[in-house]
Structure 1
Amino acid sequence: MTISFSSISPTWRVLDHTTFGPSFDALQSFAYDDTLCSFIGQQQGLATTRAWVHHKTVVLGIQDSRLPHIEEGRAYLESQGYRVIVRNSGGLAVVLDDGVLNVSLILKEEKGFSIDAGYELMYDLIKKIFASYNVNIEAYEIVGSYCPGSFDLSINGKKFAGISQRRIRGGIAVQIYLCVTGSGSHRAHLIKQFYDKAVAGKETKFVYPVVQPETMASLTELLQKPLTISSIMTSLLTTLQNEGVQLTVQPLSNEEQQLFMENYERIQLRNEKALNMNKNN
């Protein structure tokens, strides 16, 4: 049984970072979630839902950054106008752009709240957001998609979202990317080309996804409705309120802001090290 939002916390904080624009660095998002995990895990903060959008960024996993021809793969992505970064948690390459909505549910790690419970919490939320469309949203690995996992979300076998999870300092961040608008297959083709160039037929230390672009689509394509990031945000907040929780908007406190800056600097250095390490291999 899925744990309810109200049982986690009667009040949820909302941080809407969806309109920060093209200059909003995806590494800042990692720093925000790490900061919130720390404060919430140490009982200093409310459970939080944070939403954000980044423009033309490809986020690689650590394993991706160690591919035999990673520099060629990275150069291809940059030639297509994408910034390339390496995430500080698990997973493989994903595309972020102005048609992709990212949402984190950040809460205190309580005894008995399993990893699967975290995934189910997000899956249940997404099903409720789109309940009025009368579609069957399934959660299972979509072979041929990029960053495949057991909690890929799909409609009619086409993936539109992926869920990941990060647990640090007693806090949990359950994160999802939702391809809202644009072409899902176009995004998948970009990652297919990346792997083709970064692997180039060489032996790899992990099994990278053989991307089949036709396995992915956006919600606009799947639902045949004129969705926007803003409309999904409205549905998200309405759904949370329907779950019986109060929503509050609170900017970062001075203490949180200080920890954010420390985390951001740490993550920038780690990202630079991950990218530069491969130039020397």
Structure 2
Amino acid sequence: MKEAQNLLLQEQWRVIDQTMVGLHGHALQSFGMDDTLCASVGSKQSPATARAWVHPRTIVLGIQDSKLPFLKEGLTYLEEQNYQYIVRNSGGLAVVLDEGVLNLSLIFPEVEKGIDINRGYDAMWLLVQEMFADFPQKIVAKEIVGSYCPGSYDLSINDKKFAGISQRRLRNGVAVQIYLCVNGSGSERAELIQNFYNISKGNSETKFEYPTINPSVMQSLSELLEVGLTVQDVMLRFLNVLKNKSNFLFSGTLTDEELPLFESYYQRVIERNEKMLNELK
């Protein structure tokens, strides 16, 4: 854990807050942003960067989700529930984004020995623990069976999942990403994905084992901590922890060098997504 803690200690932390602007943008932009930051931070052109983002009613599907036998019907269901959907070109399965879900990305440069994958996960887990250290509830990292997009670094309180962590590695940069269900109903989000899988899989046998969703194992932080939390409340906690982990914390945007990179990576993300969705039609 000491190595993970050291990963959070940076001389500088640049913070890009897109919690408000993201509400008016497409979720694909966020994947283009993190790829851009991986490239710029990985090449040491930019310092370690933390990014916060929120997007309205969007289901982010994984590559395996695109292979569901009745996916068209599942996507029609999502549209009927007023959700957009995208397919990310990475691991993991379907997750829910909405105004009550805060996404955080920590982008580090790969050091000489490299960043072990568990070290990245542990760093995010430690960060979230520190963000809520004033509450008595213990935040545990383990797989929560019955949750959507289950993994060994699901974050939970009393066996109720409220967050999931993923990683993206590109051009000597590492992006550790987490979605935090801040408020709203965790079980209602899980029920949406439960219905999506029930429709998209039907009674078919599939090579890949999709999760059997149990909505009761997912809740939001507001529900678990029994306090009304907003995205901005959690952002303040996030910034306070990062401030204690660096000598210089500053708010920033993409630099002049990063802007053309973003246009390139964003276009790639759009093209990958369109290709995957077109193959479904």
| TM-score grouping bracket, smaller chain normalisation | over 0.9
The alignment partner of 1:98 has SS state of coil
Which amino acid counterpart does residue 125 of structure 1 have in structure 2? L
Shift of residue 241, structure 1, vs aligned partner = 1.3
Q: Does 1:170 align with 2:172?
A: yes
Decide which moves more: 192-201 or 248-257: 248-257
Shift of residue 70, structure 1, vs aligned partner = 0.5
Shift of residue 226, structure 1, vs aligned partner = 1.0
The alignment partner of 1:217 has SS state of coil
Residues 7 and 123 in structure 2, CA contact (< 8 A), matched pair in contact too: no
Distance 2:81 2:186 in 1: 16
Residues 27 and 55 in structure 2, CA contact (< 8 A), matched pair in contact too: yes
Residues 57 and 96 in structure 2, CA contact (< 8 A), matched pair in contact too: yes
Which amino acid counterpart does residue 163 of structure 2 have in structure 1? A
The alignment partner of 1:132 has SS state of coil
Distance 1:268 1:253 in 2: 22
Q: For the structure 1 residues 197 and 104, does the alpha-carbon distance in structure 2 shift closer, same or farther, using more than 3 Å as the test? A: same
Instruction: Identify the residue that residue 204 of structure 2 maps to in structure 1.
Output: 202
The alignment partner of 2:2 has SS state of coil
Q: For the structure 1 residues 7 and 16, does the alpha-carbon distance in structure 2 shift closer, same or farther, using more than 3 Å as the test? A: closer
Q: Does 1:133 align with 2:135?
A: yes
Distance 1:5 1:47 in 2: 13
Shift of residue 19, structure 1, vs aligned partner = 0.5
Distance 2:34 2:11 in 1: 21
Q: Does 1:15 align with 2:16?
A: yes
Deviations 1:8-62 (A, max 9, x none): 5211100000001533110000000000000111111100000000000000000
Distance 1:235 1:7 in 2: 15
Instruction: Identify the residue that residue 83 of structure 1 maps to in structure 2.
Output: 84
Deviations 1:54-103 (A, max 9, x none): 00000000000111011001110011000010012110000000000000
Distance 2:83 2:261 in 1: 28
Distance 1:87 1:2 in 2: 32
Which amino acid counterpart does residue 153 of structure 1 have in structure 2? L
How big is the alpha-carbon RMSD for the aligned residues of Structure 1 and Structure 2? 1.2
Instruction: Identify the residue that residue 58 of structure 1 maps to in structure 2.
Output: 59
Q: Does 1:99 align with 2:83?
A: no
- Percent of aligned pairs with the same amino acid: 55
| Structure 1 residues not aligned, in runs of 5+ | none
Q: How does 1:180-219 map to 2 (within 5 A)?
A: 180-219=182-221
TM-score, with length taken from structure 1: 0.97
Which amino acid counterpart does residue 259 of structure 1 have in structure 2? L
Instruction: Identify the residue that residue 236 of structure 1 maps to in structure 2.
Output: 238
Deviations 1:124-147 (A, max 9, x none): 000000000111100000000000
Q: For the structure 1 residues 72 and 224, does the alpha-carbon distance in structure 2 shift closer, same or farther, using more than 3 Å as the test? A: same
Distance 2:67 2:278 in 1: 11
Instruction: Identify the residue that residue 259 of structure 2 maps to in structure 1.
Output: 257
The alignment partner of 2:165 has SS state of strand
Which amino acid counterpart does residue 89 of structure 1 have in structure 2? S
Matched positions, count: 279
Residues 2 and 124 in structure 1, CA contact (< 8 A), matched pair in contact too: no
Shift of residue 251, structure 1, vs aligned partner = 1.6
Residues 10 and 246 in structure 2, CA contact (< 8 A), matched pair in contact too: no
Instruction: Identify the residue that residue 68 of structure 2 maps to in structure 1.
Output: 67
Shift of residue 205, structure 1, vs aligned partner = 2.4
The alignment partner of 1:22 has SS state of helix
Deviations 1:138-172 (A, max 9, x none): 00000000000000000000000000001110000
Residues 22 and 53 in structure 2, CA contact (< 8 A), matched pair in contact too: no
The alignment partner of 2:52 has SS state of strand
Residues 155 and 222 in structure 1, CA contact (< 8 A), matched pair in contact too: yes
Instruction: Identify the residue that residue 26 of structure 2 maps to in structure 1.
Output: 25
Q: For the structure 1 residues 88 and 245, does the alpha-carbon distance in structure 2 shift closer, same or farther, using more than 3 Å as the test? A: farther
Shift of residue 278, structure 1, vs aligned partner = 1.8
